[in-house]
Amino acid sequence: MKLRYVLLCLLLATPTYAQRLATIFNNYDLDVTAYTYCDSANIPTEIPVCVTTAQAVTDGWMSVSNDARKTFQISIDQIVVTGGIDITVEGKVTGSTSIVTIWTDNVTTATTDNDIVTVPEDVNQLRIGIKIGTADDGNDLTTNLEIIDIQYVGGRARR
């Protein structure tokens, strides 16, 4: 009887996680050589409005302070550019205003890419940016589109 009671207490004390999914880019056709971030006001309820003008340090941030598990799923299915696509994941650590680079990658025109990026626990704000390395082909017909999907998955502890 005591063993059942101890096991029940352990199960009740172990948090489960509710998953939060935010689509950052959905079949996105990238056309600029400056970093593009998405408007965090639209995350996770709608497909975000992406900013393609000069980027400020305040653009594209989303709060993840309540998420215990934080990952980005990055899928680039088609590239028709010169110089590849640059991707950067940046964060702000709790108690600091400094921007920390968590992960970077350059996906070349010769390959497509699928990555899962795990974010450290002490990060309370995140943003992800993408840009064309050198130049777009300029002819964005169906066969020449860049196809980029990026999702954020966060786990919120619940008891």
Does residue 117 or residue 109 have the better pLDDT?
Answer: 117
Does residue 75 or residue 110 have the better pLDDT?
Answer: 75
- pLDDT higher than threshold 60 for residue 54: no
Q: Point out the least confidently predicted range of 42-56, 90-104, 112-126.
A: 42-56
Span 49-72, average pLDDT: 75
- pLDDT higher than threshold 90 for residue 86: yes
At residue 35, the 3 state secondary structure works out as coil
Q: Which domain range does residue 13 map to?
A: 2-158
Q: What is the CATH number of the domain that holds 45?
A: 2.60.120
Instruction: Tell me the pTM.
Output: 0.77
If one counts every other C-beta atom within 10 angstroms of the C-beta of residue 140, the result is 14
Please report the pLDDT score of residue 3 as a whole number: 41
How confident is the prediction for the chain on average, in pLDDT? 77
* Percentages of the chain per state (helix, strand, coil), in multiples of 5: 10, 50, 40
Residue-by-residue DSSP string for 51-89: E-SSPPTTTT-EE-TT-SEEEEEEEEEE--EES-EEEEE
For the chain, what percent of residues have pLDDT higher than 90? 19
- pLDDT higher than threshold 80 for residue 92: yes
Are residues 20 and 44 in contact, defined by beta-carbon separation less than 8 angstroms? yes
Sign of the alpha-carbon torsion through 61, 24, 29, 102: positive
Please report the pLDDT score of residue 40 as a whole number: 52
Span 80-102, average pLDDT: 90
Q: Provide the pLDDT confidence category of residue 81 given band limits of 50, 70 and 90.
A: confident
- pLDDT higher than threshold 80 for residue 143: no
The domain tally of the chain equals 1
At residue 143, the 3 state secondary structure works out as helix
Q: Provide the pLDDT confidence category of residue 90 given band limits of 50, 70 and 90.
A: very high
